[in-house]
Structure 1
């Protein structure tokens, strides 16, 4: 039994540490509250070591906060990403943990709520956070939830890659009626007390006066994903599992938060996440040999040019074996230092460009660059297919995780098929609509593309017929929830 004067509380609701957030690979379940604190701490460390001062200032300016306030508030948002785990479908995944909660009369849910498997925890976070942010004083609206809140819940609900849309105010106010998987009495109170305890422990009381534009939202969303990944490692959680008597008192929550902040720098360092430092200004500091003529020319002239004009673009063209790689890396170090860059990207494979060279006219680029061709974690430089289809200037490019059809007369018009993972394409029909690829249970067969052969037809009408034959009916509202947006209203004929 938790005493009110000891536990974190919201109204008549006390923090329930029986609600688990992590369990797989652990000696015992890890409370949701602990995982929220851990993720907020790791995000705060990523903010400190990954983001540059200009990006921090831009985020703060967009939110209408100081940089210090923005740091606390956005870290708090990161912690909230998994608040949707306080739902029947998620908690029911571990029956031994769920039974005491299910049998507790303080918790009420609609019949069958535990079976709402398509109502994933990140979708639940998206729905639940609208009301919680509004109760916390964040800007609200009458018909549509205020866009600043809409952007915040979308980037948190999208931490597994699928971002939800804007909710109407009436939907946000009656979220449990629209989604039985949220649970009703008891669980909404637990989400509220977790929200308030996390906010209190992190000191994130500042209220934004604006929202993040798309470009900054992508940055914050990416850091949330990385923070969640680092904080979710079993090796990071196991040493910090609360003891059997841990009950979630305010003092215990504070102690866990301070321990999480202490552990976060080590997790980030171990992952080798941070900003690159471009401190080398001499070629000889970077390589243990004397520069050749190409490299020496670059080393003698580029530093002064960068000092006078700032960062720019350096193109190195020379035959194989002339030291282009070393020359390019040295140039990247100088330009990275001048630009305040936080890293270096090396693009494997080739790139595709299509140019028009009409008689008597200068060549002009029509399409591209597209690529890198065949670039992935498993293979580079091959595993792609390209050809003209013979259909009025149309060509296709199959590489990585996409197949793209594009019209040369109108380069802005193209059709794209996206796969969940990189593909290794071996061959294709003339029209590019049937492709031969290799697949295996554990991924692709290395750089050679060895693995199980698979023939795929890019025919959505065929896919639709197969789907309808298997399902036997049009998709229900519940079935559509776990699928990407943009599906037509009717898929299978009545």
Structure 2
């Protein structure tokens, strides 16, 4: 054990010198008398004492031969204690370190801010009760010779690292909770590396300092990203995104770079701009400037969904490849990352580079960054859940904190967070503020109250208080960039595109109403986008259009929603971009109709001539309107030359609109009625994009909303329901919400009491999103005794699949991508067990030998594409996706 501790000391020094970014070093050292010098020394000392608790009866009794040898040397045993798990070695180590520091004149409260790192190095700090009880567990600790052995080793390590002369000054420097978190995470990383027996074999005859240097080279972890000063914003823009020499940086992008260069200290930047303004490029340019100026070692880009994260990963990878200084290692952070081709290519480069050196010139995905270690990579792209889980009580959450503290954090489409997710987002911003992490938030449609909440959350993390509206320079202009703290005023930003006048009209909800509009609008051609709030509505409408005989179902119609298996959905999105993308990048059809759900409003750069949409909250409606006449075109068919948005999904015939039931279930009636009212107040039903966006969103989310005359009672009832729903969401989110960085406790004791289950992948995502429990399954087709891949899956469609033996690796990977999340309606009302029973019957022994397929649930379809599950008929085809129908007589 002594050798492992000295190995850990050596690794900790290398971790500090070659892996931790300068900014993180400064954070850890800020509370220490001698700054960075003390920070490095303290990390080495903590790494050197982290396993001191293994010198205890509770731990040492586990190996009888070793226990006998220790007994013969005077470390006596009286058998294996029945309650040995009551004193884990981390907790025993805390007792030993507390006693050691108190013997050197430390007060107990200060000592505990250091010893808690030892107690927490396996990812879970002890509870307050466990800390109080531990010193009294003499039978598990061992006294006499046990005490002396622990003290001797503590003395030896303290002398070895050169910390003895620092103890007196440290005794007057309690560590703040955020520093305890980062030191614990660094100690965990150190322990994991030093415990690797391929790098540090189990022997004691070696010089740890020398061996650690060779081991570090063999491990080959890339150094933190260190961006160097480059050219001005205009040239920087062209270089990073491979643009022509005459390409001009957009005003929004130039302003983000200017403000990033002007900040006196790290802070929060909120970028609000229309769809298509280049917010992503603006954020990456700002992130590069912020990382350079404040010594940050990477970037974390978070998006709402796996699909948008996959698309962003390619864009960020291209940007990273164009950096003059190597960005190091990249990581894709979501549950299906292993199915991403670009990420897999980078992983293969990472495997090939192991043992060569740690100064890679190419961007790679290093093999060490897997699982919980993945977000520690320099450049990370992932779903917003991966950021929100930094505010979730769960084992090893301190690693997520270190991952974020090392980076500039960029979060796109923050308006999409509901009250449940916002609870985690705001707490996360508090911690990012405590770490002084530069943060860039982006949205096209952000309500003012939400903007203020985000700013105040970050401020609470920085100084424990929050500002009011008067303390924050926020103007009702659009586009705009809000920065805090800043001594530099943001300048007005001109939209780079033209303004579009959009006429808003009501439309009946019958299929016939939609057909009538299409017949009138498309005699000369045109592209129509139809957005529905539920998959069932989208499928119903698409089927009606297909069966009407008025459109070519192969060339003129397309359905897109979330209930396609991933390869089928990706193919549809690719086709949409190819047909409806920007001029010069798409082969636009003469006549085309895309029917979809909310997936159309998120990050798809498509352009339609006419928009038909279900009534939705005003911010989301405007996101959808952003796809209408999105790009400047030389000509559009005469009947769609003017931008029109027709809103259905409600009964407009009465004094007050009545939204359809499905939309109310998704969005709540209050937000739908507010949107209808806000739009009805517009003279002549006319709005201008982007100029009217901030005012419309502000009206739709006003704290004191004034209902139109005659709507008062319906709106009041809806508002009460919405308020109760939001309150319930926040209470529910609070169950596993991490505490604040300051004020609640002086140490990490009890930090994770009542923690959430330690779950990665979709289970972890569900913990920070409010939704009903659902099930994901791989979809296959059975014909007699044989199982086949679904049709139209690239390279493997219709392929026979082995079930008694393991499928070939590439086939197994293709199958792993053919998953679908079953609708929540299927598992409601106590049907979860029935659904699981049905799916678990489709158990293939050969699949359990494949890491891609082991343990996965399987939905078997018959030759007609159907299956019976929990009294419902499920049918899947490549045109409509998954449909669900309740059977009158359950089978």
| SS of residue matched to 2:106 | coil
1:272 — aligned with what? 222
Residue 226 of structure 1 deviates from its aligned partner by: 1.3
Aligned to 1:313: 269
TM-score normalised by structure 2 residue count:
0.35
Distance apart, 1:446 and its partner CA:
6.8
Q: 1:92 to 1:62 in 2, by over 3 A?
A: same
Assess if the C-alpha contact under 8 Å between 2:28 and 2:182 holds in 1: no
- Aligned equivalents of 1:439 and 1:161: distance in 2? 31
Is contact 1:126-1:156 (8 Å) kept? yes
Cα deviation for residue 97 of structure 1 reads: 3.6
Task: State which of 304, 320, 332 in structure 1 corresponds to 2:287.
Answer: 332
Q: Are 1:124 and 2:453 counterparts?
A: no
Counterpart residue number, 1:203? 162
**Residue 45 (structure 1) aligned with residue 29 (structure 2):** no
For the structure 1 residues 78 and 222, does the alpha-carbon distance in structure 2 shift closer, same or farther, using more than 3 Å as the test? Answer: same
Q: Given that residues 403 and 418 in structure 1 are in contact (C-alpha distance below 8 angstroms), is that contact kept between their aligned partners in structure 2? A: no
State the 1:195 CA deviation.
1.2
State which of 281, 285, 296 in structure 2 corresponds to 1:341: 296
1:233 matched to which residue of 2?
196
2:13 partner SS: helix
Q: Among 72, 75, 86, which residue is 2:44 paired with? A: 75
Q: Please say if residues 278 and 336 of structure 1, whose CA atoms lie closer than 8 Å, have aligned partners that are also in contact.
A: no
Question: Does residue 285 of the first structure (1) align with residue 239 of the second (2)?
Answer: yes
Pair 387,424 (structure 1): closer, same or farther in 2 beyond 3 Å: farther
Is 1:148 the equivalent of 2:486? no
The gaps in structure 2 that reach 5 residues or longer are 305-412, 420-446, 455-561, 563-597, 600-664, 669-719, 736-753, 779-815, 831-891
RMSD: 4.8
1:285 Cα deviation from its structure 2 partner: 3.3
Preserved contact between residue 72 and residue 202 of structure 1 (Cα < 8 Å): yes
Change (3 A) 1:293 1:286: closer
For structure 1, the residue ranges without an aligned partner over 5 or more in a row are 1-31, 141-145, 247-254, 356-361, 375-380, 407-415, 459-494
> In 2 relative to 1, CA 425–261 (structure 1 residues): closer, same or farther, beyond 3 Å?
closer
CA offset at residue 365 of structure 1? 3.3
| Separation in 2, partners of 1:434, 1:343 | 35
Relative distance call for 1:53 and 1:337 in structure 2 (3 A) is closer
**CA–CA distance in 2 between the matches of 1:63 and 1:54?**
15
Which residue of structure 2 lines up, in the alignment, with residue 182 of structure 1?
141
Distance change in 2, residues 1:456/1:192 (3 Å): farther
Separation in 2 of the partners of 1:346 and 1:291?
27
| Cα displacement string for residues 86-145 of structure 1 (whole angstroms, at most 9, x for unaligned residues) | 22333333344434334x15122344337613422212212222112223x1413xxxxx
- 1:106 partner SS: coil
Q: Distance in 2 between matches of 1:315 and 1:446?
A: 34
Contact kept? 1:201, 1:257, Cα under 8 Å: no
Q: 1:328 to 1:93 in 2, by over 3 A?
A: same
Aligned residue runs from structure 1 range 457-472, under 5 A: none
Q: 746, 749, 759: which is aligned to 1:421?
A: 759
Question: Which whole-Å CA distance do the structure 2 matches of 1:283 and 1:392 have between them?
Answer: 44
CA contact (8 A) 2:776 2:820 kept: yes
CA shift at 1:433, angstroms? 9.5
**Structure 1-normalised TM-score?**
0.59
Structure-2 change in CA distance of 1:139 and 1:317 (3 Å): same
Aligned to 2:327: none
CA distance in structure 2 between the partners assigned to 1:223 and 1:446 by the alignment:
35
- Output the CA distance in 2 between the equivalents of 1:230 and 1:139: 31
Q: Which has the higher Rg, Structure 1 or Structure 2? A: 2
Q: Distance in 1 between matches of 2:666 and 2:56?
A: 47
1:306 to 1:63, Cα distance in 2 relative to 1, 3 A = closer
* Whole-angstrom distance in 2 between the partners of 1:305 and 1:183: 60
SS of 1:127's partner is: helix
Give me the whole-angstrom Cα distance separating, in 2, the residues matched to 1:120 and 1:80.
15
Matched residue, 2:3: 34
Alpha-carbon deviation of 1:59?
4.6
Q: Deviation string for 1:407-426 (max 9, x for gaps)? A: xxxxxxxxx98332146379
From the superposition, tell whether residues 200 and 105 of structure 1 become closer, same or farther in structure 2 (CA, over 3 Å): closer
Whether the 8 Å contact between 1:37 and 1:79 is mirrored in structure 2 is yes
Secondary structure at the residue paired with 2:774?
strand
Match of 1:159 among 121, 125, 135: 121
Instruction: Choose from 79, 103, 108 the match for 2:76.
Output: 108
Shift of 1:280: 4.3
Seen in structure 2, the aligned counterparts of structure 1 residues 194 and 256 have a Cα distance that, compared at 3 Å, is: farther
Q: C-alpha offsets along residues 167-187 of structure 1, whole Å, 9 cap, x if unaligned?
A: 999978xx3x52422233433
